[in-house]
Amino acid sequence: MPTREAAIFPVTTNDRLLRAAKGAHVDRAPVWLMRQAGRYLPEYRKAREGRDFFDTCRDPDLVAEITLQPIRRFPLDAAIIFSDILVVPQAMGMKVEMVSGRGPVFPNPIASTADLAALIRPDVDESLGYVFEAISRTRTALGGRVPLIGFSGAPWTLMAYMVEGSGSKTFSMARAWLHTRPRESQNLLEMLTETIIEYLAGQIRAGAQMVQLFDSWAGLLGPADYRRHAFPHLVRIGEALKLQFPDVPLALFPRGAHYILEDVAESPYDVLSLDWTIDPAVARRRTRGAITLQGNLDPILLFAETRTIRESVRSMIEGFGVQRYIANLGHGIMPEHDPERVADFVRAVHEFSTDVNEKG
């Protein structure tokens, strides 16, 4: 596979996110939001009007525009490329449709050894080059204002969708595969792992300055299953990327898997993203300052009045502290959120993290 040449971009003037991710001192907590580019913004809905979701993801110019929309609207400390974790299964030969009211659907999920054998080990430059092009164009368009984050789904989460065929509260078929088809499951997870390494490496070469792995369904596995079937692949990804790009921060979001905090703190990852179901002080104590923490306001609070949002943000920042911390939500913004409440959140992070930092 040909190696993509690294491009040259303007110097990033606001590198607060990158410094916090690496444990360097910051004047206040950097802030960005998962799904910050998306359906809650009227300008996003206008840009995507009449377009299929995945067709939008394959249009580098439109992706750059959508990624920049929240940066124009809010004083955020990072942009995250607009894409979807399921572009990886698509690159491996699976059909994925975004169905209104249901979310992602695989018309032909993996149900047999033959289905597994039919998967493609993709050339990521060929099959996912549109993502790399979108990253390069977005990084250029940012002009150094803030860093650009790339991302991928984690192996277990992608496997869960590929076997289950759609979103699920339990992903029971995918979880059953780990026990009833252990060899096939391992083969699939290894194939995903190698593809993700190449995919994230391509994103970094294209201009991503930090990358995050979303293990959205980590919490559906118990501690033993997660440590056996999922976490080793995450370590493999982290080690491989650190070997190639030692200075690029790596973030991991193992949603709901509180039992894995200590393990992640000792892994190759620089940033551990947390959902809203763990107390900030507890997370800080359990990780012993060995890793930057990110999160973790409950997105539901963005439906509350401004005063409640401000009080919740202040409590969150007092719990985490300002150093080795990145302010974020505990999951993604919802389509129904009011952009004004998002603005309240960002302003509150700026205000309270500056106050906490100045008080020492």
Q: Which two tokens stand for residue 22?
A: 């690496």
Answer whether 317's CB lies under 8 Å from 356's CB. yes
3-class state of residue 328 by DSSP: strand
3-class state of residue 148 by DSSP: strand
**Quick one: 162 exposed, middle or buried, by C-beta within 10 A (0-12, 13-18, 19+)?**
buried
Catalytic residue among 16, 28, 35, 145: 35
Asked about 39 being catalytic, the answer comes back as: yes
Asked about 130 being catalytic, the answer comes back as: no
Asked about 28 being catalytic, the answer comes back as: no
| Spatial separation of the C-alpha atoms in residues 174 and 133, rounded to whole Å | 33
Asked about 48 being catalytic, the answer comes back as: yes
> CA-CA distances (angstroms) from residue 330 to 33, 85, 334?
9, 18, 12
Give ∠ CA 24-26-30 in degrees, rounded to 5: 110
| Spatial separation of the C-alpha atoms in residues 206 and 202, rounded to whole Å | 6
| Spatial separation of the C-alpha atoms in residues 38 and 122, rounded to whole Å | 28
Catalytic residue among 161, 199, 226, 325: 161
Catalytic residue among 4, 19, 39, 314: 39
Single-letter amino acid code for the residue at 42:
P
Strand partners, 79: 148
| Spatial separation of the C-alpha atoms in residues 339 and 187, rounded to whole Å | 43
Answer whether 349's CB lies under 8 Å from 31's CB. yes
In this structure, what are the phi and psi dihedrals at residue 328, rounded to the nearest 5 degrees? -165, 180
Catalytic residue among 16, 28, 48, 205: 48
Asked about 325 being catalytic, the answer comes back as: no
Tokens 């039919």 appear where? 118
Region at 139 (left for phi over 0; alpha for psi -120 to 50; beta for the rest): alpha
| Cα end-to-end distance, the chain, whole Å | 51
Q: Which two tokens stand for residue 185?
A: 């499951």
Q: In angstroms, how far apart are the furthest CA atoms of the chain?
A: 62
Single-letter amino acid code for the residue at 151:
F
**Quick one: 355 exposed, middle or buried, by C-beta within 10 A (0-12, 13-18, 19+)?**
middle
Catalytic residue among 84, 115, 225, 355: 84
- Catalytic positions, please? 35, 39, 48, 84, 161
